[in-house]
Chain A
Amino acid sequence: MTDALDVTLRLLAVLAAFLVLPLVVGQTEHKVMAHMQGRLGPMYAGGFHGWAQLVADGVKFVQKEDVVPAGADRRVFQLAPAVALLPYLLVLLVIPLGPGDAVGQAIDAGVFFALAVMGVGVLGSLMAGWASANKYSLLGGLRTAAQLLSYELPMLLAAASVAMAAGTVSLTGIAGAFQWWWLPWQLVGAVVFFVAGLAELQRPPFDMPVADSEIIFGAYTEYTGLRFAFFLLAEYAGIVVLCGLTTVLFLGGWHGPFGGDDLGWFWTLLKTAVLAFVVIWLRVTYPRLREDQLQKLSWTFLVPLALAQIALTGVVKVVIP
């Protein structure tokens, strides 16, 4: 009985994090972008600095009509948002917040699970792009697929490097084995992982698949109401998941300068929040990469860097047993 209760509580906690954290990131993006661009952002909804703006947005999305284009493939079109959103919920389940069992569900091959399931999320964009029966959507879907195929490789290689360093593929194990000098040692891998993750989420400057000046909103062009909101939510949930994974893999997870294991959850959340801020910062700072620049960055820059990082990891691992 206590087992069942324990599992239920963990699932509820993960679900709560899944519902709250993406909205926090979204609201932060509103405000941070506004201040970086010398304006205020939402100020009225909810009173204090427009904190309820996203809730109001949500209510607006719910009220909108759910339109399926006449020429669309109805079932695939309607299924796509769920396929895009749910994988991130599953990944959130395995990201450890602190040492020991402060994790939704510890998995032996956590790194593989996280990366595998994140890759499935992209199928949602592909399904949406194809089923919309719209050439802009189809182009968006094609760009999504091309982007995933080229950035999945450096991301996996960078994760493999840190798994080699820790000698385990369990997320809890990797964060547990972390030492401070891993930061400079795995720095290149961390940057490659983070950049490739941004590209996989289609965040600026890698937002070619949804480039508004060329293809309207890519695969999501035909979506309205709640289903459209699901795609937006998937993007923010993706930011949370990517920042959490980078924190656990490369920044030492719950290790902090003081406080010990009791403050572990705080350090994990703080590092994730700082990374999320960087994601938003990059969006405001960098112009969109062109499609060929995007492919070139991955194949001629990130993949060799990731391979070099693996070689470095191997050498250090052999020299310092």
Chain B
Amino acid sequence: MSHGFLSPTGVEITFVLVGLVTLGAAVVSVTTRQLVHAALWLVVALGGLAVEYLLLTAEFIAWVQVLIYVGSVVVLLLFGLMLTRAPIGRSPDADSGNRGVALGVAVAAAVALVWVVVDAFRTTWIDLDGASAGTTEVTGASLFQHWVLPFEALSVLLLAALVGAIVLSRKRNADSGEGGER
């Protein structure tokens, strides 16, 4: 079977459309002036990404994406926003004045990522009719057979971040007065 860009299948069209929605939601989430709306648009962007994984047959990764990012990270974000400041309507003071630099960094990162991904997977096609390459079993096997070292390195990194968070939160307690606990 030959593949071409001129005769797209339904899955490919869906992939592009979902990608556009994801990109749009991501752009709105960094440009909107309403803080909580930004977090909610982030939900759309991360959910769109999960759908993209699903279309690429990476089912397990898709559900984990929803579980971790939509279900926990965004909830944590919203919790933090509501706990500090989350006015309804615009927050003009939320701009930091780094717009230009942020745009530069974002464009540079995007170009680098797109270039690397295009270069790495130039002629690779997923056979949608064959055995799925993204089931839990396949993902687990490749993770713990071929990628176990990066996996362990990442878990050590996460552990370090966890310990760091505990140290930071305890330090502030000790500074603020007679032993944090009251």
Contact = CB atoms under 8 A, between A and B. Distances in A.
Interface of A: 71-73, 76, 107-109, 112-113, 115-117, 119-120, 122-123, 126-127, 129-131, 133, 138, 141-142, 145-146, 148-149, 152, 156, 168-169
A152 B75 CA distance: 11
B121 to A, nearest CB: 23
Nearest to A127: B40
A114 to B, nearest CB: 9
Interface residues of B, number: 26
B82 A129 contact: yes
B74 interface: yes
A116 B75 contact: no
19 contacts: A71-B88, A73-B88, A73-B89, A109-B135, A112-B64, A115-B67, A116-B64, A116-B67, A116-B71, A119-B71, A123-B70, A126-B82, A130-B78, A138-B82, A138-B86, A142-B79, A142-B83, A145-B82, A149-B75
Nearest to B138: A108
Contacts of B70: 116, 119-120, 123
Contact of B136 (A129, A133, A145, A169): A169
B59 interface: yes
B63 A142 contact: no
Nearest to B50: A116
A76 B40 contact: yes
Interface of B: 36-37, 40, 43, 59-60, 63-64, 66-67, 70-72, 74-76, 78-79, 82-83, 86, 88-89, 132, 135-136
A146 to B, nearest CB: 7
Contact of A117 (B59, B66, B74, B136): B66
Nearest to B89: A73
A168 B71 CA distance: 22
Contacts of A107: 59
A120 B66 contact: yes
B82 A109 contact: no
**Interface SS majority for chain B:** helix
Nearest to B83: A142
Contacts, number: 85
Contacts of B79: 126, 142, 145-146, 149
Nearest to A122: B75
A151 B78 CA distance: 17
**Residue from B37, B78, B132 having most chain A Cβ neighbours under 10 A:** B78
Contacts of B63: 109, 112-113, 116
Nearest to A72: B88
A149 B40 CA distance: 18
Given A138-B82, A142-B79, A145-B78, A152 B36 contact: no
A224 B76 CA distance: 28
A119 B67 contact: yes
Nearest to B69: A116
A130 B82 contact: yes
Contacts of B89: 73
- Which of A107, A109, A115, A168 has the largest number of chain B CB atoms within 10 A? A109
Contact of A109 (B60, B71, B75, B86): B60
Given A119-B67, A138-B82, A149 B88 contact: no
Contact of B135 (A108, A119, A148, A149): A108
A148 B74 CA distance: 12
A115 B79 CA distance: 20
A119 B72 contact: yes
B155 to A, nearest CB: 16
B82 A131 contact: no
Scoring A71, A116, A146, A168 by chain B CB atoms within 10 A of each residue's CB, the highest score goes to A116
A57 to B, nearest CB: 31
B88 A109 contact: no
Given A112-B64, A119-B67, A130 B59 contact: no
A52 B59 CA distance: 42
Nearest 10 interchain pairs by C-beta:
A119-B71, A116-B67, A145-B79, A112-B63, A116-B66, A73-B88, A109-B60, A113-B63, A109-B136, A116-B63
